[in-house]
């Protein structure tokens, strides 16, 4: 039997749409599942059900060969017996314990010598040396996040559950820790489930992604595939980034990076080094279409292409342009008429460098 995670559950909270999630995916040593969706979509409830902190009225949760929940046969494994590492959104560090005390808290089963050895090991892994005696309230947000993660990882769990791991941090710290978290998760070789509403986190950290909206799972797939090929209009609306393509940084001058995407060059804002593999992410409403031969604009990117597809969406039309890679633009019906757009027509797509988002990706 393939190593799998199965979640099939129904949970109702009064006054909200019931959460009905059905999800099955293959688990390898370090598979990261992203539960993606807006707040209130039910992703945290699913995570908490996997942790054993929430009890669905009905369903089954199975991780590898172990059944954690099966309402039909009455199996209810307590959170204590699931061997998981769980990090809630605001970390929930124990205020009466020091950093070392927090990290060692779940190691009660070990002899005191082994316990202090494991704490020292984890302190080093998370670069918390010198902070062992500090109380949580004396730490910065980034340090608290590392302690919370260290505490979850210390008892060597089988599965790591992270609820919005970076959302409590300020923006610069978040970008930095996003990269660190990705390296760490691969290093730990531990399957994990991460709840997030940030598409950059989903792309950076995820191997599999489940898009959620109003209690339902709408699509499951590789993150960049879900972003660039949403299954339906709901998914497209939830993810909100229509173009996600693979590229490579070929030049970087003071934070203005040039990326090559299948022969086409684009400029975007990023501090990624030359040679870095990235996802190029562009929202359709940030793309301006103009007729060939018009004058210079402030936009740094003018891409020549041909219209390959046009899909009406209410008063808007979603136009796909082949400019070396498929690029999606959303424009009004009036604009379509003014530009005389038909499939096959030549057009120039203009995008400001600030609207070209570069997210690092792992090669392979």
Partner 1 sequence: MNWTAIWVTFKLASLTAGVLLVVGLPIAYWLTFSKWRWKFIVESVVALPLVLPPTVLGFYILVAIGPHSPVGRFYSDVVGHPLPFTFEGLLLASILYSLPFAVQPFAAAFEQVDRRLIEASWTLGVSKVATFFKLIVPLSMAGLVTGAVLSFAHTLGEFGVVLMVGGNIEGETRTVSIDIYDEVQALNYAGAAKTALLLLAVSYGVLLLVYAMNRKVWAVWPQK
Give Cβ neighbours of residue 225 (< 8 Å, ≥ 6 apart): none
Residue 131: φ, ψ to 5°:
-105, 5
Using CB under 8 A, count the residues that bind partner 1. 26
8 Å CB contact between 181 and 336: no
What SS3 class is residue 70? strand
* Tokens encoding 320: 């796909």
CA end-to-end span of the chain, whole Å? 26
The one among 80, 129, 254, 298 contacting partner 1 by CB under 8 A: 80
CB of 200 to partner 1, least distance (A): 26
Q: Which of 93-101, 211-219, 312-320, 348-356 is the region at the interface with partner 1 (rule: CB under 8 A)?
A: 93-101
Residue placing its CB nearer to partner 1 in the complex, 150 or 347: 150
Q: Which of 46-54, 113-121, 175-183, 258-266 is the region at the interface with partner 1 (rule: CB under 8 A)?
A: 46-54
82 part of the interface to partner 1, by CB under 8 A:
yes
In whole angstroms, give the CA distance from residue 158 to residue 350. 48
The one among 23, 51, 266, 336 contacting partner 1 by CB under 8 A: 51
What value, to the nearest 5°, has the Cα angle with vertex 179 and ends 175 and 185?
A: 135
In whole angstroms, give the CA distance from residue 357 to residue 283. 9
Quick one: how far is CA 312 from the chain centroid?
A: 29
Residue 248: φ, ψ to 5°:
-140, 135
What value, to the nearest 5°, has the Cα angle with vertex 113 and ends 107 and 117?
A: 70
Give the contact letters, 225-264, x = binds to partner 1 (CB under 8 A), - = no: ----------------------------------------
Give the contact letters, 258-277, x = binds to partner 1 (CB under 8 A), - = no: --------------------
Q: Which of 34-42, 88-96, 222-230, 308-316 is the region at the interface with partner 1 (rule: CB under 8 A)?
A: 88-96
37 part of the interface to partner 1, by CB under 8 A:
no
Residue placing its CB nearer to partner 1 in the complex, 79 or 240: 79
The one among 40, 106, 141, 326 contacting partner 1 by CB under 8 A: 106
Read out DSSP for 175-195?
A: HHHHHHHHHHHHHHT--EEEE
155 part of the interface to partner 1, by CB under 8 A:
yes
79 part of the interface to partner 1, by CB under 8 A:
yes
Contact positions vs partner 1 (CB under 8 A): 51-53, 78-86, 88, 90, 92, 94-96, 105-106, 108-109, 151-152, 155, 161
């Amino acid at each position: 039997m393939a190593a799998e995670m199965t979640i099939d559950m129904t949970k109702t909270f009064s006054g909200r749409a019931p959460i009905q999630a059905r999800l099955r995916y293959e688990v390898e040593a370090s598979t990261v599942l992203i539960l993606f969706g807006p707040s209130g979509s039910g992703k945290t409830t699913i995570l908490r059900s996997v942790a054993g902190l929430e009890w669905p009225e009905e369903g089954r949760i199975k991780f590898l060969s172990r059944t954690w929940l099966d309402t039909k046969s009455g199996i209810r494994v307590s959170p204590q017996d699931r061997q998981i590492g769980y990090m809630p959104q605001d970390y929930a560090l124990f205020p009466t314990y020091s950093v070392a005390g927090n990290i060692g808290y779940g190691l009660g089963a070990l002899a005191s010598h082994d316990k202090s050895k494991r704490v020292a090991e984890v302190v080093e892994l998370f670069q918390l040396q010198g902070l062992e005696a500090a109380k949580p309230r004396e730490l910065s947000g980034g340090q608290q996040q590392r302690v919370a993660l260290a505490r979850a990882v210390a008892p060597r769990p089988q599965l790591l559950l992270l609820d919005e791991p970076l959302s409590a941090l300020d923006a610069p710290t978040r970008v930095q820790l996003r990269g660190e978290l990705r390296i760490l998760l691969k290093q730990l070789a531990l399957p994990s489930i991460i709840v997030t509403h940030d598409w950059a986190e989903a792309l950076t950290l995820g191997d599999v992604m489940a898009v959620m909206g109003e209690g339902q799972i709408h699509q499951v797939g590789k993150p960049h595939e879900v972003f660039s090929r949403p299954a339906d209009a709901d998914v497209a609306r939830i993810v909100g980034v229509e173009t996600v393509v693979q590229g490579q940084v070929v030049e970087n001058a003071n934070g203005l990076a040039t990326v090559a995407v299948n022969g086409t060059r684009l400029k975007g804002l990023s501090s990624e080094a030359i040679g870095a593999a990235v996802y190029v992410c562009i929202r359709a409403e940030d793309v301006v279409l103009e007729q060939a031969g018009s004058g210079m604009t402030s936009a740094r990117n003018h891409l020549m292409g041909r219209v390959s597809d046009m899909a009406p969406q209410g008063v808007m039309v979603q136009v796909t342009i082949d400019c070396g890679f498929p690029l999606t633009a959303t424009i009004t019906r009036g604009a379509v008429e003014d530009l005389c757009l038909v499939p096959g027509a030549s057009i120039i797509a203009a995008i400001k460098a600030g609207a070209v988002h570069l997210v690092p990706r792992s090669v392979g």
